[in-house]
Amino acid sequence: MLKAGILIIVVFMTIQSSGQTDFAYLRKDMVTTQLKGRDITDSNTLRAMGTVKRHEFVPKRVQHLAYTDGPLSIGHAQTISQPYIVAYMTQQLKPKPHHRVLEIGTGSGYQAAVLAEIVDTVYTIEIVEPLGIKAKECLDRLGYDNIITKIGDGYQGWLEHAPFDAIIVTAGIKNVPPALLDQLAEGGRLIIPLGTTFNMHLMLYTKKNGKIKQKERLAVSFVPFIRG
Protein backbone atom coordinates (compact mmCIF):
# COMPACT_ATOMS: atom_id res chain seq x y z
CA MET A 1 0.00 0.00 0.00
CA LEU A 2 1.47 3.34 -1.05
CA LYS A 3 1.70 5.99 1.62
CA ALA A 4 0.31 9.49 1.08
CA GLY A 5 3.78 11.01 1.49
CA ILE A 6 5.13 9.01 -1.45
CA LEU A 7 2.21 10.05 -3.62
CA ILE A 8 2.67 13.70 -2.73
CA ILE A 9 6.25 13.41 -3.97
CA VAL A 10 4.92 11.93 -7.20
CA VAL A 11 2.57 14.91 -7.54
CA PHE A 12 5.36 17.42 -7.44
CA MET A 13 7.57 15.36 -9.75
CA THR A 14 4.87 15.49 -12.42
CA ILE A 15 4.67 19.27 -12.74
CA GLN A 16 5.22 20.18 -16.36
CA SER A 17 7.91 22.62 -17.43
CA SER A 18 5.17 25.16 -18.14
CA GLY A 19 4.29 25.13 -14.44
CA GLN A 20 0.96 23.38 -15.00
CA THR A 21 0.06 20.14 -13.23
CA ASP A 22 -0.47 17.16 -15.54
CA PHE A 23 -3.80 16.10 -14.07
CA ALA A 24 -4.42 13.43 -16.73
CA TYR A 25 -1.17 11.69 -15.78
CA LEU A 26 -1.93 11.92 -12.07
CA ARG A 27 -5.43 10.54 -12.59
CA LYS A 28 -4.07 7.57 -14.56
CA ASP A 29 -1.43 6.96 -11.90
CA MET A 30 -4.11 7.13 -9.18
CA VAL A 31 -6.13 4.40 -10.90
CA THR A 32 -3.06 2.21 -11.39
CA THR A 33 -1.50 2.53 -7.93
CA GLN A 34 -4.32 3.32 -5.53
CA LEU A 35 -7.15 1.31 -7.11
CA LYS A 36 -5.85 -1.50 -9.31
CA GLY A 37 -2.96 -1.83 -6.89
CA ARG A 38 -5.42 -2.73 -4.15
CA ASP A 39 -8.69 -4.56 -4.69
CA ILE A 40 -10.68 -2.45 -7.16
CA THR A 41 -11.38 -4.75 -10.10
CA ASP A 42 -14.78 -3.66 -11.46
CA SER A 43 -14.23 -2.35 -14.99
CA ASN A 44 -17.04 0.22 -14.79
CA THR A 45 -15.68 1.64 -11.55
CA LEU A 46 -12.12 1.84 -12.87
CA ARG A 47 -13.28 3.51 -16.08
CA ALA A 48 -15.33 6.08 -14.17
CA MET A 49 -12.51 6.86 -11.74
CA GLY A 50 -10.16 7.31 -14.68
CA THR A 51 -12.60 9.64 -16.42
CA VAL A 52 -13.90 12.02 -13.72
CA LYS A 53 -11.66 15.06 -13.17
CA ARG A 54 -11.31 15.00 -9.39
CA HIS A 55 -9.33 18.25 -9.37
CA GLU A 56 -12.45 20.08 -10.60
CA PHE A 57 -14.24 19.17 -7.35
CA VAL A 58 -11.73 20.54 -4.85
CA PRO A 59 -10.71 24.11 -3.94
CA LYS A 60 -8.06 25.58 -6.24
CA ARG A 61 -5.56 25.86 -3.39
CA VAL A 62 -5.43 22.04 -3.10
CA GLN A 63 -5.98 21.03 -6.72
CA HIS A 64 -2.38 19.82 -6.93
CA LEU A 65 -3.28 17.28 -4.23
CA ALA A 66 -6.48 16.08 -5.91
CA TYR A 67 -5.11 12.66 -6.86
CA THR A 68 -3.18 11.88 -3.68
CA ASP A 69 -4.19 8.99 -1.44
CA GLY A 70 -6.40 10.72 1.11
CA PRO A 71 -9.41 12.95 1.78
CA LEU A 72 -9.30 16.73 1.29
CA SER A 73 -11.22 19.55 2.95
CA ILE A 74 -13.90 21.22 0.84
CA GLY A 75 -15.01 23.68 3.52
CA HIS A 76 -17.97 23.78 5.91
CA ALA A 77 -16.33 21.00 7.99
CA GLN A 78 -16.81 18.57 5.10
CA THR A 79 -14.39 16.54 2.98
CA ILE A 80 -14.06 14.87 -0.39
CA SER A 81 -13.36 11.21 0.34
CA GLN A 82 -10.12 9.39 -0.41
CA PRO A 83 -10.22 8.12 -4.04
CA TYR A 84 -9.94 4.51 -2.89
CA ILE A 85 -13.00 4.86 -0.64
CA VAL A 86 -15.02 6.42 -3.49
CA ALA A 87 -14.04 3.54 -5.75
CA TYR A 88 -14.63 0.90 -3.06
CA MET A 89 -18.14 2.15 -2.26
CA THR A 90 -18.97 2.41 -5.96
CA GLN A 91 -17.78 -1.13 -6.61
CA GLN A 92 -19.80 -2.47 -3.67
CA LEU A 93 -22.99 -1.09 -5.25
CA LYS A 94 -22.37 -3.09 -8.46
CA PRO A 95 -23.76 -0.22 -10.57
CA LYS A 96 -25.22 -1.00 -14.00
CA PRO A 97 -26.09 1.32 -16.94
CA HIS A 98 -29.85 1.06 -16.32
CA HIS A 99 -29.63 1.80 -12.58
CA ARG A 100 -31.12 4.72 -10.70
CA VAL A 101 -29.02 5.65 -7.68
CA LEU A 102 -29.70 7.79 -4.61
CA GLU A 103 -26.79 9.53 -2.88
CA ILE A 104 -27.16 11.07 0.57
CA GLY A 105 -24.48 13.72 1.02
CA THR A 106 -23.54 15.38 -2.28
CA GLY A 107 -20.55 17.16 -0.78
CA SER A 108 -18.28 18.23 -3.62
CA GLY A 109 -20.30 16.29 -6.20
CA TYR A 110 -17.39 13.95 -7.02
CA GLN A 111 -19.02 10.68 -5.92
CA ALA A 112 -22.16 11.60 -7.85
CA ALA A 113 -20.08 12.25 -10.96
CA VAL A 114 -18.32 8.89 -10.67
CA LEU A 115 -21.68 7.11 -10.42
CA ALA A 116 -23.13 9.19 -13.26
CA GLU A 117 -20.42 7.85 -15.58
CA ILE A 118 -21.91 4.38 -15.06
CA VAL A 119 -25.63 4.58 -14.28
CA ASP A 120 -28.70 6.08 -15.92
CA THR A 121 -29.58 8.65 -13.24
CA VAL A 122 -28.15 9.83 -9.92
CA TYR A 123 -30.35 11.60 -7.37
CA THR A 124 -28.26 13.37 -4.75
CA ILE A 125 -29.18 15.31 -1.60
CA GLU A 126 -27.00 17.77 0.32
CA ILE A 127 -28.05 19.46 3.57
CA VAL A 128 -25.28 22.10 3.61
CA GLU A 129 -26.76 24.63 1.19
CA PRO A 130 -23.52 26.38 0.05
CA LEU A 131 -21.98 22.99 -0.75
CA GLY A 132 -25.09 21.81 -2.58
CA ILE A 133 -25.18 24.95 -4.70
CA LYS A 134 -21.47 24.77 -5.52
CA ALA A 135 -21.68 21.07 -6.38
CA LYS A 136 -24.59 21.66 -8.75
CA GLU A 137 -22.72 24.48 -10.48
CA CYS A 138 -19.69 22.24 -10.89
CA LEU A 139 -21.69 19.28 -12.18
CA ASP A 140 -23.60 21.47 -14.63
CA ARG A 141 -20.37 23.04 -15.88
CA LEU A 142 -18.89 19.60 -16.49
CA GLY A 143 -21.99 18.48 -18.39
CA TYR A 144 -23.50 15.92 -16.02
CA ASP A 145 -27.11 16.15 -17.14
CA ASN A 146 -28.08 12.82 -15.55
CA ILE A 147 -27.55 14.05 -11.98
CA ILE A 148 -30.56 15.51 -10.13
CA THR A 149 -29.61 17.58 -7.08
CA LYS A 150 -31.57 18.67 -4.04
CA ILE A 151 -30.85 20.79 -0.95
CA GLY A 152 -32.33 19.17 2.13
CA ASP A 153 -32.22 16.50 4.83
CA GLY A 154 -31.45 13.11 3.31
CA TYR A 155 -32.53 11.07 6.33
CA GLN A 156 -35.94 10.41 4.76
CA GLY A 157 -34.48 9.65 1.33
CA TRP A 158 -36.27 10.89 -1.79
CA LEU A 159 -39.62 9.10 -1.87
CA GLU A 160 -40.95 10.69 -5.04
CA HIS A 161 -38.17 9.08 -7.10
CA ALA A 162 -38.06 5.72 -5.26
CA PRO A 163 -37.39 2.86 -5.56
CA PHE A 164 -33.64 3.00 -6.20
CA ASP A 165 -31.40 0.24 -7.50
CA ALA A 166 -28.63 1.48 -5.23
CA ILE A 167 -28.25 3.94 -2.36
CA ILE A 168 -25.00 5.40 -1.08
CA VAL A 169 -24.56 7.43 2.12
CA THR A 170 -21.39 9.50 2.47
CA ALA A 171 -21.60 10.51 6.13
CA GLY A 172 -21.31 8.47 9.31
CA ILE A 173 -24.41 7.66 11.33
CA LYS A 174 -25.18 5.31 14.24
CA ASN A 175 -28.12 3.51 12.63
CA VAL A 176 -29.32 3.10 9.06
CA PRO A 177 -32.32 5.37 8.31
CA PRO A 178 -35.38 3.09 7.87
CA ALA A 179 -36.65 5.16 4.93
CA LEU A 180 -33.57 4.28 2.90
CA LEU A 181 -34.17 0.56 3.31
CA ASP A 182 -37.81 1.07 2.37
CA GLN A 183 -36.80 2.95 -0.79
CA LEU A 184 -34.38 0.25 -1.92
CA ALA A 185 -35.62 -1.69 -4.94
CA GLU A 186 -35.81 -5.47 -4.98
CA GLY A 187 -32.27 -6.69 -5.56
CA GLY A 188 -30.94 -3.27 -4.58
CA ARG A 189 -27.82 -2.50 -2.55
CA LEU A 190 -27.18 0.16 0.10
CA ILE A 191 -23.70 1.14 1.33
CA ILE A 192 -23.43 3.29 4.45
CA PRO A 193 -20.83 4.11 7.16
CA LEU A 194 -22.31 3.10 10.52
CA GLY A 195 -21.00 3.65 14.03
CA THR A 196 -19.31 6.36 16.05
CA THR A 197 -16.29 8.54 15.35
CA PHE A 198 -13.75 6.01 16.61
CA ASN A 199 -15.63 2.84 15.66
CA MET A 200 -17.16 3.08 12.20
CA HIS A 201 -17.55 0.50 9.44
CA LEU A 202 -19.00 0.48 5.97
CA MET A 203 -22.10 -1.70 6.02
CA LEU A 204 -23.63 -3.22 2.91
CA TYR A 205 -27.37 -3.92 2.87
CA THR A 206 -29.05 -5.95 0.14
CA LYS A 207 -32.74 -6.57 -0.47
CA LYS A 208 -33.84 -9.99 -1.73
CA ASN A 209 -37.42 -11.22 -1.75
CA GLY A 210 -38.32 -8.22 0.34
CA LYS A 211 -35.88 -9.17 3.09
CA ILE A 212 -32.81 -7.18 4.13
CA LYS A 213 -29.41 -8.77 4.64
CA GLN A 214 -26.34 -6.95 5.93
CA LYS A 215 -22.59 -7.45 5.73
CA GLU A 216 -19.80 -5.56 7.44
CA ARG A 217 -17.09 -4.22 5.15
CA LEU A 218 -14.22 -1.77 5.79
CA ALA A 219 -13.35 0.14 8.93
CA VAL A 220 -13.63 3.79 7.90
CA SER A 221 -13.79 7.37 9.13
CA PHE A 222 -16.43 9.79 7.82
CA VAL A 223 -17.75 13.19 8.78
CA PRO A 224 -20.97 12.89 10.83
CA PHE A 225 -24.41 12.72 9.25
CA ILE A 226 -26.20 16.07 9.61
CA ARG A 227 -29.93 16.20 10.30
CA GLY A 228 -32.21 19.07 9.38
104-128 CB burial, b ≥16 within 10 A, e <16: bbbbbbbbbbbbbbbbebbbbbbbb
- From CA 209, how far away is CA 113, in angstroms rounded? 31
State which residues form the domain around 166. 4-219
**Which among 18, 73, 81, 108 is annotated as catalytic?**
81
CA distances from 5 to 31, 68, 73, 131, 179 (A): 17, 9, 17, 28, 41
pTM score, two decimals? 0.90
The answer as to whether 227 is a domain residue is no
What's 26's domain CATH number? 3.40.50.150
- Residue 150 counted as domain residue: yes
Residue 228 lies in a domain: no
User: Is there a domain that residue 108 lies in?
Assistant: yes
Per-residue pLDDT of the chain (228 residues; tens, 9 = 90+): 444 454 444 444 444 434 578 999 999 999 999 999 999 999 999 999 999 999 999 999 999 999 999 999 999 999 999 999 999 999 999 999 999 999 999 999 999 999 999 999 999 999 999 999 999 999 999 999 999 999 999 999 999 999 999 999 999 999 999 999 999 999 999 999 999 888 999 999 999 999 999 999 999 999 999 987
Catalytic status, residue 81: yes
Residue 226 included in any domain: no
Q: How many domains does the chain have?
A: 1
